[in-house]
């Protein structure tokens, strides 16, 4: 999932450089959402790993 965050961020930078501002904003928004999902899953995974075992 982190791979997709980096890919959409790069697409956002490239499309912004080429002048496609609305497309750049869309890619940036997708990248932000995926980054939040990644961080949420990472935190849940760490809590499950270091938390009390069931």
For 1-54, write each residue's pLDDT tens digit: 889 999 989 999 999 999 998 999 999 999 999 999 999 999 999 998 887 765
Q: Which pLDDT value is given to residue 7?
A: 92
- 46: its two tokens: 């760490």
Segments making up each domain of the chain, as ranges: 2-39
* Strand, helix or coil for residue 49: helix
Q: Which pLDDT value is given to residue 54?
A: 58
Residue showing tokens 């980054």: 35
Could you list the beta-strand ranges (E) of 3-52: none
Instruction: Output the pTM of the full model.
Output: 0.77
> Are 38 and 4 within 8 A, CB to CB?
no
């Amino acid at each position: 999932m982190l791979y997709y965050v980096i890919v959409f961020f790069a697409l956002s930078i490239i499309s912004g450089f080429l002048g496609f501002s609305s497309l750049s904003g869309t890619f940036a928004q997708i990248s932000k959402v995926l980054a939040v999902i990644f961080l949420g899953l990472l935190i849940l995974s760490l809590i499950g790993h270091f938390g009390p075992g069931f």
